[in-house]
Copies of this chain bind each other. A is one copy, B any other.
Amino acid sequence: MSMRYIIIGGDAAGMSAASRIKRNDKHAEVIVYERDAHISYAACGMPYWLGGVVGSDKDLQILTPKIAKEKRGIDVRTHHEVVAIEAAQRHVTVHDLKKGELEDVSFDHLIIATGASAIRPHIPGALAEGVFTLRTLVEGQKIFKFMEENGPRRAAIIGAGYIGLEMAEALRGKNMDVHMVEMAPHIMPNYSPDMVEEVTTHLQENGVNIYLESKLKAIKEQKNGLKLEMEGATTGLIVDMVILATGVKPNSEMAKEAGLKMGKSGAIWTNKRLKTNVDRIWAAGDCAELEHRVLGEGVWIPLAPSANKTGRIAGDNASGGHTIFPGILGTNVVKVFNYTMASTGITEEMVEESEKFPHVTSVVITENDRAGYYPGAEPVKIKLVFDKREKKILGAQMVGKSGVAKRIDVLATAISAGMTADDLAMLDLAYAPPYAPVYDPVNVAGSVAGKVK
């Protein structure tokens, strides 16, 4: 008898799991239930499509149900929502959204890959026409259609995280007036305040109006547009379109109702093999809590690379493999017009109140990305976070116009290996005038950190 694997969710984690299971066991019955119309799409590419940099949303679709079936033998059922999990009985209740029918389906192994959803704040007007979130391709398509049909000229973006910044650039690329509203005292709240200054100025120079420490209270539909009422502000902004980029939440309610253990982040608890607390039930991707390599505890940082990796590993382990996920660092990079911001590991702010990290400190250095005399040299600013006594590297943030994206990976690798500041200073990194100074900025950061008493 072949085993039946049920996978809830057909995006990065779910389809990675499904593909891996079929590779391990070609006789396995693998059913993927996806409540939306699409599977396996590059969600992170949507701002570039909406901004006209990428030609079509078709470019973002990596896999179709038809190809998944024909090439990989995976039974993908779109417009099917799993509405309940019976963990002990090993079956799920599936709602066929087109037919409106419910069905109970049993499984040998279940992989929960339900992802995360955009948070829509509970304020008046949050559901008004012209107010959008951007997480799924369906949501992206709604924005695209609205822009095509209405030609909005003024947009507000609520939230200055990754999506907010990428959408600001996208909408400026469409020549719209862009207003960015952020509750926190600075953009990119996950970064340290001293690492976002240049980019804040750069956004403003590129025509993005930024409102910090500003909380949206309500959106009012008026004849002349959508009026944003903000706490404290006496007058409101009027725009044609609002993007709510105020964060995401894990889609973990159903797992919780099924009695699965939740992490303290509210995402589904998993062990290093991506198993939940119940045998034969696995979780992967943006619905799962994963271990942070520096913090040594479960965190919820939903990003595409770990969704892909954990999906693959959950699938492998469910189908007889034994693969350990070493954890995440939350490594990220974002393009903001001509600037690049990137970070990995922890910030000082993240562990300010933690007793586990009493000796965390940081240094900030600025060095050219290539030989200073070589045309186009641009400064790279690095904040290196480390333990004052052991000099172990715990995190890094980087900002600059060039040479940032893959340099952060050198630091992510160094942190994964448990390297110290001195180790960094002595790394034998590639040098040629067009690409790096003879002491790479990474070496310099290590060298400066090494001298901190």
* Minimum Cβ distance to chain B for residue A434 (Å): 5
Q: Does A375 contact B (CB under 8 A)?
A: yes
Is A433 engaged at the interface, CB distance under 8 Å to the other chain? yes
Of the residues B309, B373, B443, contact of A54 by C-beta under 8 Å: B373
Residues in B neighbouring A330, C-beta threshold 8 A: 428
Task: Report whether B431 and A333 are in contact in the complex, using a CB–CB cutoff of 8 Å.
Answer: yes
Q: A325-B426, A417-B419 are in contact. Are A431 and B303 (CB under 8 A)?
A: yes
Q: Contact: B417 with A413, CB < 8 Å?
A: yes
Which of A41-49, A179-187, A239-247, A248-256 makes up part of the contact surface?
A41-49
CB-based contact A435/B406 at 8 Å? yes
Known: A407-B409, A432-B405. A373 touches B427 (CB 8 A): no
Q: What residue of chain B has the Cβ atom nearest to residue A329's Cβ?
A: B428
Residue pair A428, B331 in contact (C-beta under 8 Å): yes
Tell me whether A333 and B414 are in contact (CB under 8 A): no
A12 interface hit (Cβ, 8 Å): yes
Q: Does A271 contact B (CB under 8 A)?
A: no
Question: Cα distance A42–B427 when bound, in Å?
Answer: 20
A211 within 8 A of B: no
Q: Which residues of B contact A430 (CB under 8 A)?
A: 331-333, 342, 344, 405-406, 408-409, 412
| CB–CB A435/B333 < 8 A | yes
Contact of A42 among B344, B405, B433 (CB under 8 A): B433
Compute how far the CA of A435 lies from the CA of B429 in the bound complex, rounded to whole angstroms: 20
Q: Distance (Å) between the CB of A312 and the closest chain B CB?
A: 9
Q: How far is the CB of A28 from chain B (nearest CB, A)?
A: 20
Q: Please indicate which of the listed interface residues A332, A340, A371, A375 has the most CB atoms of chain B within 10 Å of its own CB.
A: A371
Once A406-B406, A409-B442 are accepted as A-B contacts, the answer to whether A304 and B373 lie under 8 Å apart by CB is no
Please state if A335 and B432 are interface contacts (CB–CB under 8 Å). Answer: yes
A409 surroundings in chain B (CB, below 8 A): 406-407, 409-410, 427, 429-430, 440, 442
- With contact pairs A430-B405, A435-B405 given, residues A375 and B54 touching in the complex (Cβ less than 8 Å): yes
B406 with A438: CB separation less than 8 A: no
* A182 CB to nearest B CB, Å: 20
- A:299-320 near B, CB below 8 Å: 303-306, 308-309
**A309: nearest residue on chain B (CB-CB)?**
B426
Any chain B CB within 8 A of the CB of A63? no
Q: Nearest B residue to A332 by beta-carbon distance?
A: B430
Return the CB mask of A417-429 against B: 1 if under 8 Å, else 0: 1110001001111
The verdict on A357 contacting chain B, using a C-beta distance below 8 Å, is no
Contact at B332–A433, with CB atoms within 8 Å?
Answer: no
Residues of B within 8 A of A45 (CB): 371, 373-374, 433
Counting CB contacts under 8 A, is A334 at the interface?
A: yes
Contacting residue for A413 out of B327, B328, B410, CB 8 A = B410
Assess whether A83 is interfacial by the CB under 8 Å rule. no
CA of A439 to CA of B303, assembled, Å = 12
Give 13 new A-B contacts, CB below 8 A, not counting A305-B429, A409-B427: A44-B371, A60-B373, A304-B438, A305-B428, A305-B443, A308-B439, A309-B426, A333-B430, A342-B430, A407-B409, A408-B430, A409-B429, A412-B430
Show the binding face of A for B, using Cβ within 8 Å.
12, 42, 44-45, 48, 53-54, 59-60, 293, 303-306, 308-309, 325-335, 340, 342, 344, 371, 373-375, 403, 405-410, 412-414, 416-419, 423, 426-436, 438-440, 442-443
26 chain-A/chain-B pairs, Cβ below 8 angstroms: A42-B373, A45-B371, A45-B373, A45-B374, A53-B375, A54-B433, A60-B373, A304-B431, A305-B429, A305-B439, A306-B428, A326-B423, A329-B428, A332-B431, A333-B436, A335-B434, A405-B432, A405-B436, A406-B409, A408-B430, A409-B409, A409-B410, A413-B413, A413-B427, A413-B429, A416-B423
Instruction: Please give me the 5 A-B residue pairs with the lowest Cβ-Cβ distance, nearest first.
Output: A417-B417, A405-B435, A333-B430, A406-B406, A59-B373
